[in-house]
Structure 1
Amino acid sequence: MPTLPLPDKGKVRLLSLSDLDGRTNAAKAARALIADLESDLGGADRLSAAERALVVRAAVTGAMVEHLEATWLSGGEYDVAAYTTLAKLQLRLLTALGLQRRPRDVTPDLTDYVAQAAG
């Protein structure tokens, strides 16, 4: 696996998914899985910070697993140990989040309900 380059001088700048332009297939796949997982868990606004972090880790890991699968299926060589490690990691992350869908809270806000009923 490639290693991350270290900066020559100056401050270390940590990158996040929001720093990416998102045009690569891997970024699109990760963002789509993030949205799907958030939806399955009842919506992004209902997740704790820890759950949000696990969702991102699971989605990025999923994009890496998908890349290794596509490499193998197209006849390329890939690291079996890396694949199994990543697949198991994704399973652990998804299991920690829960594999069942959570219902969304569709109860209207009381103020909005009264205003709508009055109008």
Structure 2
Amino acid sequence: MPRKRTSLKPLFEAEPGKVRLRTLNDLDGRTAAAQKAQAFVERIEADLGGADRLSTAQRTLVTRAAVTAAIVEAIEAGALMGGDIDVGAYVALTNNLRRFLTTLGLERVTRDVTPRLAEYIAKPPPGAT
């Protein structure tokens, strides 16, 4: 069976002389797929110590990993419901996901709470004036 070619046209909104790239932020977030991808983003960011501690490069990899994880999960669900899957695409996606996650780190990073603790200690007790 020949592979279906994917066009990049749906990814762009084009007017004569204008091209606008769409991003995940352009999604309204109501679809199950968008919600699943966003949940993966949040969980991976938390595992890495919080979104505020990530570099731009890490954020980019987190997004790619989250979208890939959502796609892999959808493929797996389809297979478990008796559907046909493209095994080559599935293997490629899971390998890419593994590489993204390995690059980001597979161990949880503890969140630094020291500044918050210092703020808490500096704060006067309730009822004190």
Q: Which residue of 2 aligns with 1:67?
A: 74
Measure, in 2, the Cα distance between the counterparts of 1:73 and 1:3: 28
Aligned length: 119
Q: Which residue of 2 aligns with 1:45?
A: 52
Amino acid of the residue matched to residue 112 of structure 2? D
CA RMSD of aligned residues (A): 2.1
Once the two structures are superposed, residues 3-49 of structure 1 have per-residue CA deviations (whole angstroms, 9 ceiling, x without a partner) of: 23265744221011110011111111100010000001000001111
Once the two structures are superposed, residues 51-94 of structure 1 have per-residue CA deviations (whole angstroms, 9 ceiling, x without a partner) of: 11110000000011111111111111111111000000000000
Once the two structures are superposed, residues 77-112 of structure 1 have per-residue CA deviations (whole angstroms, 9 ceiling, x without a partner) of: 111111000000000000000000001000026973
- Deviation above 6 Å: which 4+ runs of structure 1? none
The runs of 5 or more residues in structure 2 that have no matched partner are none
- Cα distance change, pair 74–111 in 1 and its aligned pair in 2 (3 A): closer
Measure, in 2, the Cα distance between the counterparts of 1:83 and 1:110: 45
Measure, in 1, the Cα distance between the counterparts of 2:24 and 2:117: 37
The runs of 5 or more residues in structure 1 that have no matched partner are none
Measure, in 2, the Cα distance between the counterparts of 1:115 and 1:41: 28
Q: Which residue of 1 aligns with 2:97?
A: 90
- Cα distance change, pair 42–67 in 1 and its aligned pair in 2 (3 A): same
Q: Which residue of 1 aligns with 2:18?
A: 11
- Tell which has more relative contact order, 1 or 2 (C-alpha 8 A, sep 6+): 1
- Cα distance change, pair 110–26 in 1 and its aligned pair in 2 (3 A): closer
Measure, in 1, the Cα distance between the counterparts of 2:65 and 2:116: 32
Measure, in 1, the Cα distance between the counterparts of 2:74 and 2:116: 43
TM-score, normalized by length of structure 1? Answer: 0.88
- Cα distance change, pair 30–115 in 1 and its aligned pair in 2 (3 A): same
Q: Secondary structure at the match of 1:102?
A: coil
